[in-house]
């Protein structure tokens, strides 16, 4: 399932690179959109992986604000 989240503290490409470099091996299809405010992250998550993704984002310093969209 592909989920779009709004996130805090993502200000520039360096922040996006931290997310991509840290999470792309564990989660597939991670994308960071810097042209939206608040910033958005899209990720492909398997069943049961949503909380782990949210926890990882929090640990990196980019907490999830809200879920914006889900699609199959």
* CATH, residue 23: 3.30.70.100
Q: To the nearest whole percent, how much of the chain has pLDDT over 70? A: 100
pLDDT in tens, 35-70: 999 999 999 999 899 999 999 999 999 999 999 999
pLDDT at 37: 94
Q: Is the predicted pLDDT of residue 4 greater than 90, yes or no?
A: yes
Measured CA distances, 68 to 7, 22, 53 (Å): 10, 22, 15
Average pLDDT over residues 5-31: 97
8 A C-beta contact, residue 70 and residue 2: yes
Structure tokens at 69: 């969209």
Residue 72 has pLDDT above 90, yes or no: no
* Domain of 8, in residue numbers: 2-71
66 forms beta bridges with: 6
> Structure tokens of 72?
């199959």
The number of domains in the chain is 1
Instruction: Determine contact, residues 23/29, Cβ cutoff 8 Å.
Output: no
């Amino acid at each position: 399932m592909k989920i779009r989240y709004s996130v805090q503290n993502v200000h520039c490409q360096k922040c996006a690179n931290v997310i991509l470099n840290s999470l792309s091996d564990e989660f597939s299809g991670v994308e960071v959109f810097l042209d939206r405010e608040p910033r958005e992250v899209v990720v492909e998550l398997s069943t049961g992986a949503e909380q782990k993704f949210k926890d990882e984002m929090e640990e990196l310093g980019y907490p999830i604000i809200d879920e914006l969209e889900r699609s199959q």
